[in-house]
């Protein structure tokens, strides 16, 4: 039996995926605490109606997150981009929800508990 490079690569990927430990951290690089601080600052600015300052904080959070290994945080980066756009558009409640999703996707907050069925 002969193996070419592509079948060896596929076999290696399948083997690696099968042996990933359960509950392993999804992010190789720890997230800079300035990401959370800038998101919190943006939330305060949104609350105070200071959209331009909120956008500046969101951009800073995005830059810090990219520096932490942006490829591992694509969902959080997309949420931050959406939050910046919404803040520029004056849609503060939607921007706040996007920031909450960014925190969740970056692993900086726990998922909200699901409501019990009534």
What are the φ/ψ torsions at residue 55 (nearest 5 degrees)?
A: -60, -40
Q: Give me the pLDDT at residue 31, please.
A: 87
**The pLDDT value given to residue 117:** 57
Give residue 2's pLDDT.
Answer: 52
Q: Is residue 75 a part of any domain in this protein?
A: yes
pLDDT attached to residue 22: 42
Please give the tally of structural domains in the chain.
1
3-state secondary structure of 109: coil
Over the chain (118 residues), the average pLDDT of each successive run of 10 is 50 48 50 94 96 97 88 91 96 96 90 61
* pLDDT for the residue numbered 30: 81
pTM above 0.85, yes or no: no
**Position 24 in a domain:** no
Short-list 43, 47, 48, 55, CA closest to 84: 55
Q: How far is Cα 45 from Cα 52, in angstroms, rounded to an integer?
A: 8
In a domain? residue 118: no
**Residue 11: inside a domain, yes or no?**
no
Q: What pLDDT score does 24 carry?
A: 36
Does 15 reside within a domain? no
Residue 59 placed within a domain: yes
Q: Which residues of 10-22 are buried (b: 16+ CB within 10 A; e: fewer)?
A: eeeeeeeeeeeee
* Calpha distance 115→102 (Å, rounded): 21
User: What is the span of the domain harbouring residue 66?
Assistant: 33-105
Query: Which CATH number is 77's domain given?
Result: 1.20.120
> Nearest-CA neighbor of 98 among 67, 65, 75?
75
């Amino acid at each position: 039996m002969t193996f070419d490079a592509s079948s060896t690569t596929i076999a290696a990927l399948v083997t690696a995926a099968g042996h990933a430990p359960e509950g392993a951290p999804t992010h190789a690089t720890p997230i800079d605490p300035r990401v959370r601080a800038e998101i919190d600052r943006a939330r305060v600015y949104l609350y105070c109606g200071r959209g331009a300052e909120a956008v500046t904080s969101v951009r800073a959070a995005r830059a810090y997150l990219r520096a932490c290994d942006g490829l591992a945080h694509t969902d959080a980066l997309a949420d931050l981009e959406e939050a910046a756009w919404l803040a520029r558009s004056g849609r503060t409640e939607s921007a706040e929800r996007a920031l909450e999703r960014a925190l969740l996707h970056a692993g900086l907050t726990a998922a909200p508990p699901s409501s019990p069925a009534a």
